[in-house]
Structure 1
């Protein structure tokens, strides 16, 4: 049965409006990063790269703004650590829930997924209260000052790890479910050890999912705000630094310049993830 022409045009119009709705704010934010004005608003006053490269006020550029660069460095540092930890734990979780049967498996699976449905602010507050309670008890009873349980980068890593592990577990488990166990059995029958089978047969098959999980975990960690805001100390990541700049100074085109850099970086990582999936997918 052929689709009526008018319904086809309605569908195409809907898709066009939908993507304009998604892309429009990003294009506007990027455009104002090149506007020769002290404010990210119309009218257009000419093209400039000052908000990226200017070394002097009032148009101090992103690449000369020490506070924004420090926040960017903190975000990259946190993102790399969280991505590595969450992918390692997510891989273990994937093998556990896909390959093993144990009592209350469904309950523990639901428990693993729960952090995804808890609001980030609530999750951050809960972790902060719990960590502070342990730190205060250790200080009071044993004289131990556990700085890593106080607001700061270690606590931010712990907070983000708590929900990013769920995401990486689901990504890797989805790939692992497609694996043909006969391949492992054939390798074992040929005399390969369990570790060798894991490294030469199973992990190469999981590599696209592992790479995608790393990319997703890093990007989600990088842009996370709600949970991070509750756990951050003096070394603030980029999202919190931008929020603090907005509150104290107001919006300036340098924040738009940051947005351009983040959009380009995120797009490149997402593209690499897609290419890796296509190249490594089984024929």
Structure 2
């Protein structure tokens, strides 16, 4: 009604202008980061000195490219291992949570559901500090009482995985739960009537239906884990993931185009994974 009314042309133009400004606001920092990754200058700033791929592939100083920077590559590898572990754990537990809250009926169900969602609204800094304090107190208590050192509760890769898992599993749970709510329970009942076992029904009917959501949830978990900084900062040990490595490089050396090159690489990788996530969730045409 508003579009057809008086002044609809002005309202439509204003809306389009707002959408354009919104996307420019989102894209401008990404475009700037991408542009300086190809600038033939030792500083990510204007003026433009010419096009170069040195910040990606050069193997000598002072323009050491990201693919020859051992510290950045080590951080990339650590981030990848953490993200894969967190994604696998989060999808498994998220699937279990989905069955629990969709199919289960137990006292305090709504309370526990709210408790599961709660980590999403807690700042990452608070989560990191809380997990570190809890793990350290438990490790110190066990060491004093039993002279037993629990290394996995000290800052390091395992604690980072557990810390990220504590809130990322909420995301996967919500994604898979939304998919499970759309499932037609009569399909399982028909399979049971035909003599199928519970494990067989789960393997051949229910999990295939959930597979798109599980893959999408795994991709989201991977991306959130890979780029996480706030929680990871308090739990990291000697093996620093890429986000911490880049932050340390910024503090000690300052901004350099090689960090822009890393940003371009991450943007492209994230875009590809996001596209895969959309494709696997797309409904197949009915025949």
Instruction: Using the TM superposition, give the Cα deviation of residue 116 of structure 1 relative to its aligned residue in structure 2, in angstroms.
Output: 0.6
Which residue number in structure 1 is paired with residue 167 of structure 2?
163
Which residue number in structure 2 is paired with residue 44 of structure 1?
48
Could you list the runs of 5+ residues in structure 2 that have no partner in the other structure?
none
1:144 and 1:281 map into 2 onto residues whose CA distance is 59
Which residue number in structure 2 is paired with residue 61 of structure 1?
65
Say yes or no: does 1:136 pair with 2:140. yes
Say yes or no: does 1:127 pair with 2:131. yes
Instruction: Using the TM superposition, give the Cα deviation of residue 279 of structure 1 relative to its aligned residue in structure 2, in angstroms.
Output: 5.0
Could you list the runs of 5+ residues in structure 1 that have no partner in the other structure?
none
CA contact (8 A) 1:179 1:205 kept: yes
Which residue number in structure 1 is paired with residue 153 of structure 2?
149
Change (3 A) 1:168 1:104: same
CA displacement 1:153-183 (0-9 Å, x = unmatched): 0000000000001000000000000101011
Change (3 A) 1:281 1:109: farther
Change (3 A) 1:282 1:134: farther
Instruction: Using the TM superposition, give the Cα deviation of residue 2 of structure 1 relative to its aligned residue in structure 2, in angstroms.
Output: 6.3
For residues 174-193 of structure 1, the aligned pairs below 5 Å read 174-193=178-197
2:114 and 2:2 map into 1 onto residues whose CA distance is 43
Change (3 A) 1:239 1:74: same
Which residue number in structure 1 is paired with residue 88 of structure 2?
84
CA contact (8 A) 1:156 1:232 kept: yes
Say yes or no: does 1:242 pair with 2:246. yes
Which residue number in structure 2 is paired with residue 100 of structure 1?
104
- Matched residue of 1:36: which SS? coil
1:13 and 1:21 map into 2 onto residues whose CA distance is 12
2:40 and 2:11 map into 1 onto residues whose CA distance is 45
1:281 and 1:98 map into 2 onto residues whose CA distance is 27
Which residue number in structure 1 is paired with residue 23 of structure 2?
19
- Matched residue of 1:81: which SS? helix
CA contact (8 A) 1:208 1:280 kept: no
CA displacement 1:179-214 (0-9 Å, x = unmatched): 010111011111111111111111111011000100
Q: Which runs of 4+ in 1 moved over 2 A?
A: 279-283
Aligned residues: 283
Instruction: Using the TM superposition, give the Cα deviation of residue 144 of structure 1 relative to its aligned residue in structure 2, in angstroms.
Output: 1.1
Instruction: Using the TM superposition, give the Cα deviation of residue 256 of structure 1 relative to its aligned residue in structure 2, in angstroms.
Output: 0.1
CA contact (8 A) 1:83 1:214 kept: yes
User: CA RMSD for the aligned pairs?
Assistant: 1.1
2:122 and 2:281 map into 1 onto residues whose CA distance is 30
2:41 and 2:215 map into 1 onto residues whose CA distance is 41
